[in-house]
Amino acid sequence: MKKRTIQALGKKELENKRALVRVDFNVPLDEDLRITDDTRIRAALPTIKYLIVQQAKVILMSHLGRPKGKVVEKMRLDPVAKRLSELLGQEVKKVDDCIGEEVEKEISTLEKESVLLLENLRFHPEEENNEEEFSKKLARLADLFINDAFGTAHRAHASTFGVAKLLPSYAGFLMAKEIEMLSKLLEDPETPFVVILGGAKISGKIDIIQNLLNIADKILIAGGISHTCLVAQGYSIGRSLQEDYDLEIVRKILKQGGEKLVLPLDYIICRTEVSEKAETEIVKISSIPAEGIAVDLGPESLALFEKEIKKAKTIFWNGPVGIFEIDKFAQGTNQIARILADMKGRAITVIGGGDSVAAIEKAGLAEKITHLSTGGGASLEYLGGKKLPGIEVLPED
């Protein structure tokens, strides 16, 4: 898939022009409203810096959290403006709304090479409802639109879809790279192609399993979604996490996938509380006790997964393989991260957002991964064969 990108724009097209850029600055904040992970901000820097060099007037818009159409003070973008100023080495002005006379007045005074950050888009219910009038108010702020927010591309919102219909529109560098990398997985992966899927809910992974069964050589299934698969096969999983899902659908997929689908052989379990203090033991999948709770992959499972991963030329990973939030049960997830990092130079490695990216970042291995996707949900829907509104609306190259 080829979309018209920001590279089509030079100084001639951008100098003194107002460039409205949809970025994904939905970053985690602690109780003191300090950013705990600025990955998404740093991911947008190439597009922002390019626009500055081409002497455009840069207007950034993003959401943060889920304010549900109301102003929520702790979800204002002031901490983002501060961090972005530090990363760019220049002041990033911030306004307290994303539409209206005050915003338009501020934009009218912008000089070329300056950067302005609009307030949280989702303070307005019209944003998520993709209301045309709201899209028009946003479009009125600029001469052109650039979407660099892959993480929201699976949503048809005013700032990702509506505005793109009203202004000359382009994909930013981050968006273009996401499309390029994920399209390659679907259209031309170097084989063997191995997929690793973890996480809690199988409902969010069914489409990707079905779609990639025709493309991948192996799909390794772990985490909560493996529990559902084992129940569908008749195993007892004790008190382990299991989503309430149609097991007949799971059985059909398992039958269809055959040897392509690889399930765990053993788990690390605990019998009482799920905490750092819990006593653990290793059990086969056929021997999980009634009070047992699977918290991580067992050593046999990890060895099996490692064997399959090391054969691969292309690898996609989404979702932790254990209860990643508790350090004691993050060993399997961390081991998968290390195995993928060791594949540098031998395989293309793509990690699809969320906790998988967090594991790589925490381990300091990000530079050894070919591509870290900024959109967990968006990457899953893309690889599941769905059309993403925020991408589809952008003109073809």
What residue has token string 């969320």? 354
Helices (H), the chain: 11-14, 39-43, 45-53, 78-88, 101-108, 125-128, 132-139, 173-187, 206-212, 223-232, 247-257, 299-309, 331-342, 354-362, 376-383, 389-392
Options 204, 224, 354, 375, the catalytic residue? 354
Whole-angstrom CA distances from 57 to 112, 133, 268 are 5, 24, 54
Annotated active-site residue 345? The verdict is no
What distance lies between CA 94 and its chain's CA centroid? 26
Annotated active-site residue 40? The verdict is yes
Show Cβ contacts of residue 287 under 8 Å, excluding neighbours closer than 6 positions.
Answer: none
Annotated active-site residue 201? The verdict is yes
Smallest CA-to-CA distance from 5 within 253, 233, 212, 172 is with 172
Distance CA 136, CA 34 (A): 33
Options 4, 140, 184, 201, the catalytic residue? 201
For residues 198 and 262, the answer to whether their CB atoms sit within 8 Å is no
Options 338, 377, 385, 386, the catalytic residue? 377
Distance CA 16, CA 225 (A): 51
Local structure of residue 204 (DSSP, 8 states): T
Which residues face 92 on adjacent strands? 115
What distance lies between CA 191 and its chain's CA centroid? 24
Maximum distance among all alpha carbons in the chain? 69
Distance CA 33, CA 17 (A): 33
Options 22, 40, 76, 218, the catalytic residue? 40
Whole-angstrom CA distances from 283 to 197, 267, 292 are 21, 6, 9
Count of alpha carbons within 13 angstroms of residue 95, beta-carbon side: 22
Annotated active-site residue 375? The verdict is no
For residues 197 and 263, the answer to whether their CB atoms sit within 8 Å is no
Residues forming the active site: 40, 201, 354, 377
